[in-house]
Amino acid sequence: MTKLRLAIVGAGPAGIYAADILLKHERSFDVSIDLFEGLPAPYGLVRYGVAPDHPRIKGIITALREVLDRGDIRIFGNVQYGRDITLADLQQHYHAVIFATGAVRDADLDIPGIDLPGSYGAADFVSWYDGHPDFPREWPLEAQSVAVIGNGNVALDVARVLAKHADDLLPTEIPANVYAGLKASPVTDVHVFGRRGPTQVKFSPLELRELGELRDVDMIVHDEDFDYDDAARAAIASNKQIFVIDKVFTKWREEESGSASRRLHLHFYAKPLEVVAGPDGRVASFRYERTRPDGAGGVEGTGEIRSVDVQAVYRAVGYFGSPLDGIPFDERRGVIPNHEGQVLAEDNEILPGVYATGWIKRGPVGLIGHTKSDAMETIQHLVNGQASWWTPEDPSEESVTELLESRGVAYTNLDGWHALDTHEIALGEPEGRARIKVVDRDEMVEISRSGQ
C-alpha cells in the first residue's frame, strides 16, 4: 500500500485537527483525505456554538482555515453521512473512516413540565443565535423573567446573551434576525440555577467574570449560598480556578446592587423539581428544592421547596451526540463506543477501519484545544492499525465526486467556502461589522456553488 485514502466525517475542530495531525505524522505511506461535512460551512461548534461575543475564541477559525487553505485536504460540504453517503460507500472508496461528528442537541432533563411551551433546550437557542441553517429563524423572546438551569459555560453563554442589550451584540457576527429578536426582548431578570455550591461550578473564571462587565446589568448573588464548609474552603485553597471564581463572587457580594434595567441572578444549592404551567398552559414558574453539602463532596435535599415566577426556562444541562447509520452507539453516554478512538463493536472487539475523535468519541465536555490531543490519540491508532484497514474496490479520488454527482448531491468545496466567506464579510462591511452570517441553507449552497 502506498496511499491511505481516508474519509473524515465532520469538519469541526476535531475533524480538521485529525486531518492536519495525520498529514504531519511520521508514516510510511502517502495520505489522501476527504472531509465530509453535513453543513455548507466548516468549523462545527466554533461557528455554530461558541458565542458571537467571544471573538477571541471564534478566531480559532483562522487557524482551522489555514489548515484547509493549504489545499491538501479535500472538503465536501453539504454532504450528510447517512443520507448522501453511507458506510458501504465509504468502504468501497476508502481504507478507513474517522467520525468527528460532535454533538448538536441538548441532553434531557427529566423533570415534570420540561416540555411545556416556553421551556427550551440551550442547544436550540445557541443554534438560533449563532445562525445554524437547520434551526428555525424565529425565536420567541417574550419573557420578562427567565430561568436558566445549569452551572457550566453554556448556561453562562445563554444567560449572558439573554441579559445583554442587543446593541452590545451588534459589533459581532450575529445574523440580522437575531439582533432584531434580542432587541425586542422584554427581559429584565435572568435567574441561573445550579444544584451544587459556588465552589462546585463548571464555569471558566473568564466567562464568569465577563458577566459582571455587562452594561446596565446587575449581578445578584445571595449570602446564604456562601456559608462555606471545609470542603468548599479546601477547594478554594487548592484549585486556582476555584480561587479566582470565589474572588469574582466575593466582589459581587461586596458591591451594592445598582439601578440597572436588567438583573442576572445566580442561585446555588437549587435542585430543579418542576416547570409549572399557568392557566394558559405555558411556563409560569420554576420550582426547586434547596440543597446543602452532604459532607462527601456532593449535595443532599433539605426538603425546602422554593419557586420563582418565570415565563421561560432554558435547560443547559449538557449536549448529547447523535447516532450514525451502521455505527455502534452508546445510548447512555451519547457517544460512539471506542477504545482510544478505535470504534468498538457490540462484543467490545475493535471494528476494523472505523475510528472516532472529538466530542462524539469523548462526550460533549472540554474545550476546543482538547480535541487536538484527542485527535493525536486517534491518529496514532489509525497509523498503527494499517493491517486492519479496509480494502476498497475503487479508491480513486474521482470515484467520490462521480458518486455524489450521480446522486445529485449539491456538494460544496473549499472554493465554495471561500466564496461564502467573502460574501459574508462583504455583507458586514457597510455596517462596520466583521461579517453577517448567511443563515438559509439553500442560499449558502447557492453562493458557495457559484464560486466553485
Ligand X SMILES: Cc1cc2nc3c(=O)[nH]c(=O)nc-3n(C[C@H](O)[C@H](O)[C@H](O)COP(=O)(O)OP(=O)(O)OC[C@H]3O[C@@H](n4cnc5c(N)ncnc54)[C@H](O)[C@@H]3O)c2cc1C
Residues binding ligand X (CB under 6 A): 9-15, 36-39, 44-46, 49-50, 54, 57, 80-82, 100-103, 126, 154, 157, 319, 324, 358-359, 366-368, 371
- Residue 88 backbone phi and psi in degrees, to 5: -60, -40
Burial of 61 from C-beta contacts in 10 A (0-12 / 13-18 / 19+): middle
Enclosing H/E stretch for 313: strand 312-315
The residue (of 7 and 232) whose beta carbon lies closer to ligand X is 7
The residue (of 80 and 250) whose beta carbon lies closer to ligand X is 80
The residue (of 312 and 324) whose beta carbon lies closer to ligand X is 324
The residue (of 54 and 282) whose beta carbon lies closer to ligand X is 54
The residue (of 186 and 326) whose beta carbon lies closer to ligand X is 326
Alpha carbon distance 194, 122 (integer Å): 15
> Own/partner pairs for 26-32, CB < 8 Å, 24+ apart?
27/383, 29/1, 29/2, 29/3, 29/4, 29/386, 30/2, 30/3, 30/4, 31/3, 31/4, 31/6, 32/3, 32/4, 32/5, 32/6, 32/74, 32/397
Alpha carbon distance 337, 333 (integer Å): 9
CB 305 to ligand X: min, Å? 31
Dihedral sign, CA of 202, 46, 73, 389? positive
* H helix intervals, 255-353: none
CB 172 to ligand X: min, Å? 13
The residue (of 31 and 85) whose beta carbon lies closer to ligand X is 85
Residues 6+ apart with CB under 8 A from 20: 67, 73
C-beta neighbour count of 142 within 10 angstroms:
13
CB 297 to ligand X: min, Å? 26
CB 47 to ligand X: min, Å? 8
In angstroms, the Cα distances linking 310 to 119, 205, 335, 452 are: 10, 27, 34, 49
CB 250 to ligand X: min, Å? 24
CB 391 to ligand X: min, Å? 24
* Grid cell listed for 180: 432584531
The residue (of 117 and 366) whose beta carbon lies closer to ligand X is 366
CB 208 to ligand X: min, Å? 13
* Cβ pair 192, 272 in contact under 8 A: no
The residue (of 278 and 366) whose beta carbon lies closer to ligand X is 366
Q: 76-94: b or e for each residue (b if 16 or more CB lie within 10 Å)?
A: bbbbebbebbebebbbbbb
CB 334 to ligand X: min, Å? 12
The residue (of 157 and 225) whose beta carbon lies closer to ligand X is 157
The residue (of 232 and 445) whose beta carbon lies closer to ligand X is 445
* Grid cell listed for 144: 420578562
Alpha carbon distance 19, 382 (integer Å): 12
CB 400 to ligand X: min, Å? 14
CB 120 to ligand X: min, Å? 14
495531525: which residue's cell?
Answer: 21
